[in-house]
Chains A and B, each alone.
Chain A
Amino acid sequence: MEITFEHVTHSYNADGPTASLGLDDVSLTIKDGLFTAIVGQTGSGKSTLVRHINALLKPTSGIVKIGSRVIDSETSNKNLKSLRKQVGMVFQFPESQLFEETVEKDIMFGPINFGATEDQAKESAQKMIQMVGLDESYLSKSPFDLSGGQMRRVAIAGVLASDPETIILDEPTAGLDPVGRQEIMDMFKGLQKNGKTIVLITHNMDDVANYADDVAVIHSGKLIANGLPKDIFNNNDLLKNDLLTLPKSAEFAKKLSQKGFSFSKLPITIDELGTEIKQQLNGD
């Protein structure tokens, strides 16, 4: 499903004296089947942007197209279920959405709301708990007895259980340990390889370099850059103005270039960096 923003502006409390602009004339295409990263400082409008994709927010002006659905300021709040089934959303600290008595019931909550039968939902719960790296014995536990990291995984399973075509992730790994973070990110990359569209909000530039096919940079409600990760991380204007930081590999390459190495384009992943160093050392 391709997602298109056309001149989308969103203003919070539009009529009140405390109106503030969340998005300012954003036009952006999120391509079908790609892994798109959205980066930007805290409060820049990243979360506001993605909440338009499943119509939790509606544009004040402009339109958002999600597949064949068009959302504008006039769109009614009813009949949004089919859209929300297609677009799954993992919020920041999603563990705060858990409420059921057992993990299984909580994972089944989404599918049943979207019209699945009890059996289908159960089957889905069994599949999803394994996908997020927990075994089936967790299904009968109370979600409130789990550790923070396990709760996070259950919450993510609860979103994935409805089998959405597009998955929106708002800093899904914030606060997780490094191993857990990599497992979760690898799982999302795997989902993308199976045909899902992924949209990831993140502050971690290494995740952008390692997983994303496309990057959008948001700054005070405006889209200021959009392109391939390697192009974005070589955009000196963005880096100079502190609108973006470099992934570790690019940071390392930069230091190497002060010691005599030369890179036409900064390598952004460890593999790229390794290949470059090998070539340059052998070339000497």
Chain B
Amino acid sequence: MGRYLPGDSLIYHLDPRGKFLLTFYFVGIVFFANNVASYALLLAFVLFAVYLSKINFGFFIKGLKPVFWLILFTVILQLLFTPSNNPIWHWGIFTLSKEGMVISAYIFMRFILIIFISTLLTLTTTPIEISDSIESILKPLKRINFPVTQVALMLSIALRFVPLLVDETTKIMDAQRARGVDFGEGGLIKRIKSFVPILIPLFVSSFSIAYDLAIAMESRGYKDGEGRSKYRVLSWARRDNLTIIFMIGLTIILLFLRSY
């Protein structure tokens, strides 16, 4: 996963609703692949999408970093603990076999495919577009009195607060540093203690920002979000239909290549 990167390419211009749903769809069909050919097909698809996005490949590699240890752990686990009738090497509870190698290679591929495709979504779609698409996707739930607009508003306010709180944290950390706090120095207890002077001011200012925001919204006539018009209008274009057709094609070939 990564943070939104401003850019201009076909992937950027796709409707965020489509991108959001198709990303989930793709993560689903990754689990249908079960042989070399089907994995190769999915990898080719992901690389093609990455190519279309015109984003430097380095950003996708960076997306692997936070889950690197998880991938390594899972792969090693599969490699050493897959039971087999003709092991290459055997010691105690550890078994190394051809089957184990194949399974761990597949697991590794799954991780790569899923992380690359979700990184592609987050790099090319702004958080606000994602929250707009969630609102749009949840719309049918209005029938059962689910408060879709309120939930969408909560989502976008939460997103709006992220950079605000980051700024506020930096500011408070700087102020406490100037008063002689050394973050990340000393033992564990001392380190935990050094966060108190950040957390308390952060809570206080979050509440006051939230309170101000509520007053500002009410004074501009906000009531319950019903009948609000949109500044950003999502528009479904031909390219979005084509993407879906492309995805259906991919699924058919995948099912064809899959061994039963």
Contacts and interface: CB of A to CB of B under 8 A. Distances in A.
A172 interface: no
B178 A84 contact: yes
Given A97-B172, A99-B197, A158 B179 contact: yes
Interface stretch (A108-116, A128-136, A220-228): A108-116
A85 B175 contact: no
B175 A91 contact: yes
Nearest to B197: A99
A159 B5 CA distance: 40
Contact of A114 (B6, B180, B201): B180
A159 B175 CA distance: 9
Interface string B214-231: 000000000000000000
A96 B205 contact: yes
Interface residues of A, number: 25
B139 interface: no
Given A56-B174, A91-B171, A98 B179 contact: no
A97 B200 CA distance: 9
Contact of A113 (B174, B181, B200, B205): B181
Interface in B160-192: 168, 171-172, 174-182, 185
B58 to A, nearest CB: 11
Contact of A84 (B180, B200, B205): B180
A144 B204 contact: yes
Given A17-B5, A51-B174, A109-B197, A97 B204 contact: no
Interface string A35-51: 00000000000000001
Given A17-B6, A96-B171, A89 B201 contact: no
Contacts of B179: 84, 97, 109-110, 113, 158-159, 162
Contacts of A110: 179-180
A124 interface: no
B196 interface: yes
B200 A99 contact: yes
Interface string B139-176: 00000000000000000000000000000100110111
A94 B175 contact: yes
B180 A97 contact: no
Nearest to B5: A17
Contacts of B178: 54, 56, 84, 87-89, 91, 159
Interface of B: 5-6, 168, 171-172, 174-182, 185, 196-197, 200-201, 204-205
Given A97-B201, A109-B197, A110-B179, 4 more contacts: A89-B175, A96-B204, A99-B200, A144-B204
15 contacts: A51-B174, A56-B177, A56-B178, A84-B179, A91-B178, A96-B171, A97-B176, A97-B179, A98-B201, A99-B196, A99-B201, A110-B179, A113-B179, A113-B181, A158-B179
